[in-house]
A and B are shown apart, each in its own frame.
Chain A
Amino acid sequence: MIWSRFTSAATQLPWSLPADASAHGPALDHHLLLNLWIALALLALAHLILFTGLLARRHSAPNHLWRIEYLPLAALALLFATLTVKAERLWAAARYTGASPTALQVEATGVQFAWYFRYPGPDATFGLTHPNLVAPGEGNPLGVDPKDPHSADDHVSSQLVLPANREVDLRLNAQDVIHGFSIPEMRLKQNAVPGQTIHLHFTPTTPGTYAILCTQLCGLGHYRMNATLRILPPDQFANWLATQQKAAQ
């Protein structure tokens, strides 16, 4: 298994995007590549004009013609406007509305320097947390209040395990400083801000294991603040959830 990962990494070009494993990813990648190609073309064009102008024989200065002063600007304005509209539509689809009511509820909390994931259990409600109950040494890193009846069936995991092809409603918290929740393969990034709960929704598509990184400088252990996302086929996920809940009770 290690070997197969090694060979797959070796065949991947060092600059290619990581594999895409979420439902909104392909559209994002497509738009990103379109943008990159346009930027590359404009870069080549501008340098071509620059070098041609420098190499060509001297000629009188160009006049103030609207077609060299304003036409390229109008063309660029049109191009950027098109890209903006396309990007805004994708952004609106991803962020303007919340998750569907049937989405899987998971809470992710960033703490220097780890991510914790909490599943609400069969009652579908997260128990209350209090910062003065936080005791990582005693197995309560999030400070879940044992007196709250909703806490009893909550379970906390250091791995994010999700079923494929079901929307996830992730509520992001941070206990201490700002952290950045990022899953490159899911094309996701959102800061977790202390004092705020931020909702993020997405649908994983391809089973596998993926990296969860911290992408907002959070202290000396920032570089090692990572976790693993495991996407399982729905039936395997149901088994995993059942074992976790049995362990929690």
Chain B
Amino acid sequence: MTPHSNVPPTRSHGPRKLTPKPHPILSRIFSTDHRTIGIQYLILALVSVIIGTTLSLLMRIHLVWPDWPLPLHGLILPEDYLALVTIHGTVMLFFVLTTAPQAGFGNLILPAQIGARTMAFPGLNAASFWLTAIALITLLCSTFAPGGAAISGWTAYPPLSAVPSAGPGQALGMDLWLASIALFAIASTASSINTLTTILRNRCPGMTWERLPLTVWGWFTAALLSIIAFSVLLAAILLLFCDRHAGTSFFLPNGDLVNGVLHQGGNGSPLLWLHLFWFFGHPEVYIAILPGMGLTSMLLANFSHRRVFAYRTMIVTTLLIGLLGILLWGHHMFVAGLNPFASSAFSISTMAIALPAAAKVLSWLATTWRSRPSYKTPMLFALGFVSLFITGGLTGPILAQPILDEYLHNTFFVVAHFHLIMAMAGIFGLYAATYYWFPLLTATRSHPGRLLSEPLGHLHFWCTLIGAYAVFLPMHLTGLAGEPRHYAQLTGIPGPGGSLSPAGALLSHTLPLNRFITYAAFFLAAGQLLFLINLARTLYKGNFASSNPWQATTLEWHPTMNPFTPSSASDTSEISVHRMPCHYQSNKVEISFLPQWAPVSFAQGEIANATDSKPE
């Protein structure tokens, strides 16, 4: 398909050649090759997601069978439960939903999609990964600190997080948590600078901004948000660290008395932390989901054999979501003691983001409308993403209204909302990416990439979709019934009256549904074993993929971008881009799609038609 030329293959330049020959194994582990780093990020995310899921299952068990002793540990105490909550949230949000889409696939696929051979700063890239790995180890080590891991949740509100006497885990455990997140923030900022510079500088000839795949727009916007958000988080963490160890009072009011320890001196405000944290925290959820949104647009078009509906609008809405995403942090603080007028303002900016999000959904629906797509596993996960994004997204405008938040805040309704739209949709995006790009992930110089098994993939998809809805839909109902978050127990509440007290009655009322949710969580987790089996089986003896198995149009499928390059295609030197992605012809049989890299000159007559008939 590509024109031949006499220039020798250019796949030799790369930083690996420049290093002065360290030990071969060391040079593979501490590689500056972006593909190796991408795989390392994905392995880190896989380890993290297994840990995070296990912790969530322990939480579910404890919630409905509080007397169940955890083997090798004993009873799960209330502080253990809160440590589970904290580490689950932190691991999942930072080390899975931020690293895997943005840093993992961002390294593996982004350079190839813009026709670049390397990332802009390979050394910085490797340093970011190792810093992230150290951050994860630090976080996991905090479990073994005296008093255990931090118990203040992933939001770490002071004074609970600022005063070591506030609870077990709030001394060394909290320090390790802060250290871990500080390292992560530094790593993410560095990695985002790398991503942005790569997109700005390393695009191949012809790759105009308009021709960038929507995945690249997702990574670009998420990287912009990362730089803004993580730098603010880092500053907030430094301030909190000073409050804990340097006697400052950024977040501690004068006269604060925690467990017999009186704070005297400076007069700070815990609300300052809430502002700084949520200024980071809300963009963070968009960082987690934007790459998945971009990928969904591209996959729906690919498997529907269609162009993306309203491509330019999709670019604009991606940027708009990024822009609005940094203007609505206050909706986490409606009942936190914010001025009620500020709540009204944040309510309006939050409602406004529903519009670009709805425009995305419309584009997805229009792209697949009457397209008779081919239901390969990546397509199924992309459709699942759409479904979960709609379901989780529709409760967003409800929570954006302060008056309703006055009832729903910190109930399981919120837990259901953000798990569907961020966690489940995010994971579906990751699965779509994994199934779609697996041939590129597994290709080496010696053999082509492998395809994950389709039958197993289909089964995995249906189990995950049913499991995700079975776990998180009922949480809306327990939340409406009044079940608050972060409660270690719903039965056996000590105090006057026990479970016969009004509070005990209210909480134990939700137990039957909670039991169902726990069973569903086990089903959902068991379904993920299918993926691990598929992964292991495919790595061992999966079918080899052709160089462009999905008839994709984006550059990562260019033959020379594949590490395993068939000799016939390897002598192409320059990659250049000739058109927007997703150039599919529905009614022509012989050339039904045109990749971005294919020059117009081949098959003249047909293409002249094809390129002229722009859908706009």
Contacts and interface: CB of A to CB of B under 8 A. Distances in A.
B307 A61 contact: yes
B403 A216 contact: no
Nearest to A68: B366
A69 B313 contact: yes
A50 B383 contact: yes
Interface in A26-66: 28, 31-32, 35-36, 39, 42-43, 46-47, 49-50, 53-54, 56-64
A91 B401 contact: yes
Contact of A49 (B365, B485, B586): B365
A23 B505 CA distance: 23
A84 B401 contact: yes
A76 B77 contact: no
Nearest to B337: A193
Contacts of B73: none
Interface string B258-279: 1100100001111100000000
A39 B395 contact: yes
Contacts of A224: 78, 489, 493-495
A132 B157 CA distance: 24
A50 B358 contact: no
Contacts of B269: 193, 195-196
B365 A53 contact: yes
B410 A215 contact: yes
Given A43-B391, A69-B313, A196-B269, A176 B257 contact: yes
B503 interface: yes
B599 interface: no
Interface string A201-218: 000000001111111111
A144 to B, nearest CB: 14
Contact of B406 (A18, A28, A219): A28
> Size band of the B side of the interface?
35 or more
Contacts of A112: 166-167, 258-259
B57 interface: no
A69 B316 CA distance: 14
Interface stretch (B46-54, B289-297, B344-352, B425-433): B344-352
Contacts of A212: 503
A248 interface: no
A104 interface: no
Interface string B486-515: 111100011111001111111001101100
A177 interface: yes
Nearest to B356: A73
B256 A187 contact: no
Contacts of A16: 480-481
A12 interface: yes
Interface string B305-346: 011011001000000000000000000000111001101100
B358 A72 contact: yes
Contacts of B168: 220
Nearest to B344: A88
Q: Considering residues B168, B410, B493, B497, which has the most beta carbons from chain A within 10 angstroms of its beta carbon?
A: B410
A104 to B, nearest CB: 20
B462 interface: no
Interface string B391-420: 100110110111111111111000000000
A44 to B, nearest CB: 10
Contact of B368 (A50, A60, A94, A223): A50
A134 interface: yes
A9 B351 CA distance: 36
B208 to A, nearest CB: 20
Interface string B463-499: 0000000000000011011101111110001111100
B78 to A, nearest CB: 5
B267 to A, nearest CB: 7
Contacts of B390: 42-43, 46-47
A72 B407 CA distance: 30
Given A80-B354, A196-B253, A220-B79, A28 B404 contact: yes
Contact of B335 (A60, A80, A190, A195): A190
Contacts of A62: 309, 366, 369-370
Contact of A73 (B359, B397, B400, B493): B359
Contacts of B394: 39, 42-43
Nearest to B493: A224
B369 A53 contact: yes
Given A14-B477, A18-B506, A80-B397, A226 B495 contact: yes
B501 A226 contact: yes
A127 to B, nearest CB: 16
Contacts of A189: 335, 405-407, 409-410
A64 B312 CA distance: 11
B365 A176 contact: no
A195 B513 contact: no
A220 B82 contact: yes
B536 interface: no
In the complex, which of the residues B398, B478, B501 has the most CB atoms of chain A within 10 Å of its own CB atom?
Answer: B398
Interface in A118-133: 130-132
A191 B335 contact: yes
B476 to A, nearest CB: 8
A81 B368 CA distance: 29
Contact of B373 (A54, A187, A217): A54
B253 A222 contact: no
B410 A187 contact: no
A228 B501 contact: yes
B224 to A, nearest CB: 24
Given A16-B481, A63-B615, A96-B340, A215 B409 contact: yes
Nearest to B80: A220
Contacts of B340: 91-92, 95-96
A147 interface: no
A198 interface: yes
Contact of B484 (A46, A188, A194, A213): A213
B535 interface: no
Given A15-B513, A228-B502, A73 B586 contact: no
A58 B404 CA distance: 43
- The CB with the most chain A CB atoms within 10 A, among B259, B313, B347, B370, is that of B370
Contacts of A196: 253, 269, 271, 337
A28 B358 CA distance: 26
Nearest to A129: B255
A149 interface: no
B616 interface: yes
Interface stretch (A161-169, A178-186, A237-245): A178-186
Q: Which 4 A-B pairs have the closest CB atoms?
A: A195-B253, A15-B477, A226-B503, A87-B401
Interface of B: 77-79, 82, 151-153, 157-160, 163, 166-168, 253-259, 262, 267-271, 306-307, 309-310, 313, 335-337, 340-341, 343-344, 347-348, 351, 354-355, 358-359, 361-362, 365-373, 383, 386-387, 390-391, 394-395, 397-398, 400-411, 477-478, 480-482, 484-489, 493-497, 500-506, 509-510, 512-513, 586-587, 615-616
Given A216-B410, A218-B160, 10 more contacts: A15-B480, A50-B365, A64-B310, A87-B401, A131-B256, A177-B163, A187-B407, A219-B167, A222-B486, A222-B488
Interface of A: 2, 5, 9, 12, 14-18, 28, 31-32, 35-36, 39, 42-43, 46-47, 49-50, 53-54, 56-64, 68-69, 72-73, 76-77, 80-81, 83-84, 87-88, 90-92, 94-96, 112, 130-132, 134, 143, 175-178, 180, 182, 184, 187-191, 193-196, 198, 209-224, 226-229
13 contacts: A14-B478, A14-B481, A39-B397, A39-B398, A76-B355, A84-B347, A91-B403, A176-B163, A195-B253, A211-B503, A217-B157, A223-B487, A223-B489
